[in-house]
Amino acid sequence: MRNTRESWHGKWISTDFATVSQEPEFTLEEMFSGKIKLQEPIEERLNPSIYFKKIFEVSKLVRKARLIITCQGIYQAYLNGKKVTEAIFTPDYTDYNDFLMYQTYDVTDLLVEGMNILAIEVADGWFAGRISVQGGSIQFGNQLALLADLEIDLVDGEKEVIGTDESFTSGTGKHCYADIQIGEKQDFRLDSNWKTSYENLSGKVFEIEADYARLAPQEGPQVYRKQFLAPKKIWHESEDIIVDFGQVIAGRVRLELALEKDQEVILEHAEVLNEEGKFFKNIIGRNKDATDIFVGNGKKEIMEPDFTFHGFRYVKITGLKEIPTNAIQAVSIYSDLPETGYFLTNDSLVNQLLSNILWSQRGNMLSIPTDCPQRERVGWTGDMQVFAPSSTFYMDTNAFIRRWLRSLRINQRSNGEILDYSPAPADAQKSVAFTASYSSAGWGDAIIMVPWTLYERYGDITVLEENYDAMLKWFDFERKSAARGKKGEACYIWDTKFHYGDWMFPSFMMDNPNPMKTAEVTKDIVATMFLAHSAELLANISEIIGKDGKPFKEYCQKVKTAFSHYFITTKNQLCSDFQGCYVLALAFHMIPEHIKSDFVTRLVEKIHENGDRLDTGFLSIPYLLDVLCENGYQELAKTIFFQDACPSWFYEVKQGATTIWESWAGIHPDGKVGAFSFNHYAFGCVLDWMIRETVGLHIRKSGYRAITIKPSVEIVENFNFNFKSPQGSISIIKVGKDWKITVPKAIDMIVDLSEVGGRVKD
């Protein structure tokens, strides 16, 4: 572990032109009111990326060489003009104040005998870029800086170390600016051979005081360019070119063509077209430009941004008359998560839904789990809590999510509150002015629910142990917050602060969207249910790791008793008479058994009244279909699943969606296209239900050490399912009523196909 000054040969270095400017104050209230903040032109606010360079000599034979490196910003490193790594956006996004990772690369093959050149470019990245929800800059600091050691083991047993110090030189080049949110401008007239030239750069560097204690070796996967997509269609709008890549992604565009000297080409990015089929920037807000600019030098060049990414399917190109299809690609970017799941059916619409879920996961697992890859791009706890079970199928997300949980623990407030999102930029501390709260039930509960999911899926008890103290602190905050200023049974009702509630349930969002109203009418009842649920989970977790779970069980029961008195009417209905509230009450066993059937009946009535469509919000949607299946309404669950009227999963599919939307009515039934995100993975949580209730794969012992194959509803005639569990590959192939099931011998398996009339085939 290199987390002291003495463990590094090199020192933190920077330069006079590595200071990032601060954006003017812009509050969430101003942002949500639609206020526009006047700003100076981008090139007057943003600075070029920084070059750092060292020329050195290797006079003996090299046995082994490695580069250990990190920065304040994001970097690309080269030795003798060749990339040290294909990983990008290093050193990844963590809470840099207390957790900054360094990377180690084997560079033996990149060194040559004689003179060598170490060249490193550093850009704003998450450290200093315009990354806050409201578009603020310098969220973790304003000084870009570099720290590196190049360790060279020689054949004769000697060792040399090239560390960052004042012998390095600095400069700038073709990147006029490079902001991870706004975009990049590359001026190829300013390009040079600085990575291979034996001349020093003109700028000096100096050592700075920066924290070493926060440093840690790389944890979890790095970010890579993962797929290259060819255009599906190209057309003109007036003088501009529109390119459709056929798939919403997180990434950027790569051009390979010759521009005239001084010719400027502008690329703007969007996820949808408007109702007239025209280019439409669906994401608006301060510093949400999503625009890249290239200036030609009269030569053929590969033009691709280096330090930014965008959420898009469509690109508008200004400054070109034509573009050959083989001269442009979209580059999909996300963290290098091992692929573990395959699921294909005979139904093309179901397959498209599965594809939409997978692509939303790809687009929102870029260094951290985000809500969306184009607007906020922050690690919302609620989104991760909702999607965590589904996230473990297509990809092994264990190390990725555990790294994020480390930032979440770092950001936990002294009173136990878990912030709404993490890592927490500086502007996150100001969000309390908008909601009067740093946290919310269902969001903060991620510190309990997400580690529980990882334990269940991967079977590693350490994820519970390393988060247990944070769980206790959060639960203590919940408990004290609920009881504040109260006596008696009222202490178990969490109605003392703001919560998002069953956020954005459709009936309040379709015609006159009002997400805050959805919070207002559901926050107290939903918060109280999550208070009980977290207590119940904490009891289970405590017992698993050898602690006493009894106090949490007792507390949970007191919450449930108070819930019955406060929220259940004399007609055995909920005072918040919404689908999602019934779903959560049934899913979390909040109601006495003798009136459970009344609640199921009322939920079914609410669904039928809504035209057999869901009206569940952010926190209840993961449980809707399960609750119906568990209570004998499998056919109604199937009807809702296949519903193609808005709001529904297949409404989006039939509207041409290639990812999961933020709003069920992102494209309204009247055709109007909204200014929403069209890549939000949260509602892809239905994948977990599909796997458990239609494929039938249930976990009986953590890590898939014991499973039950027991489907309760049949949605397709045929499917081919394969999952690389921690115990090995689980294969389930269904053809009509015949099921072929193959699992490793290490897995204890029970098979029950009675509810779908299936038969096991050898």
Non-local CB neighbours of 637 within 8 Å, separated by 6+ positions: 624, 625, 628, 629, 693, 713
Structure tokens at 677: 């995100």
**Residue 445 contacts residue 474 (beta carbons within 8 Å):** yes
User: What is the signed CA dihedral for 216, 421, 125, 45, rounded to 10 degrees?
Assistant: -140
What are the b/e assignments for 531-558, b being 16+ CB within 10 Å? bbbbbbbbbebbeeeebebeebbebbee
Distance in angstroms (rounded) separating the CA atoms of residues 5 and 716: 60
List 171's β-bridge partners, or say none: 51
Distance in angstroms (rounded) separating the CA atoms of residues 387 and 5: 40
**Residue 659 contacts residue 625 (beta carbons within 8 Å):** no
Number of H helices and number of E strands within the chain?
17, 35
User: For the residues of 655-712, what is the DSSP string, one character each?
Assistant: TT-SS--SSTTSB-TTSPBPSS-S---GGGGHHHHIIIIII-EEEEEGGGTEEEE---
Distance linking the first and last C-alpha atoms of the chain: 52
Distance in angstroms (rounded) separating the CA atoms of residues 621 and 681: 13
353 residue type, one letter: L
Instruction: Provide the CB-side half-sphere exposure for 150 (13 A, CA).
Output: 25
Burial class (CB in 10 A: 0-12, 13-18, 19+), 351: middle
Whether the upstream peptide bond of residue 41 has omega within 30° of 0, thus cis, is: no
Distance in angstroms (rounded) separating the CA atoms of residues 91 and 102: 6
User: For the residues of 473-503, what is the DSSP string, one character each?
Assistant: HHHHHHHHHHHTT--GGGGGS--SS----ST
Q: Phi first, then psi: give them for residue 469, nearest 5 degrees.
A: -60, -40
Alpha carbon 459 to its chain's center:
23
29 a catalytic residue:
no
Catalytic residue among 121, 304, 652, 662: 662
Q: CB count, 10 Å around CB of 419? A: 24
Distance in angstroms (rounded) separating the CA atoms of residues 731 and 343: 10
Distance in angstroms (rounded) separating the CA atoms of residues 187 and 559: 62
- Residue 262 φ/ψ region, left for φ over 0, alpha for ψ in the -120 to 50 degree band, beta for the rest: left
Classified as helix, coil or strand, 45 is: helix
Catalytic residue among 184, 376, 536, 714: 376
520 a catalytic residue:
no
Coarse DSSP helix, strand, coil percentages of the chain, rounded to the nearest 5 percent: 30, 25, 40
**Residue 166 contacts residue 460 (beta carbons within 8 Å):** no
Distance in angstroms (rounded) separating the CA atoms of residues 504 and 500: 9
59 residue type, one letter: S
Non-local CB neighbours of 174 within 8 Å, separated by 6+ positions: 186, 187, 188, 189, 190, 191, 192
Distance in angstroms (rounded) separating the CA atoms of residues 489 and 55: 72
The sign of the CA dihedral 202, 207, 209, 214 is positive
**Residue 726 contacts residue 458 (beta carbons within 8 Å):** yes
Q: CB count, 10 Å around CB of 426? A: 14
Q: Active-site residue numbers?
A: 376, 662
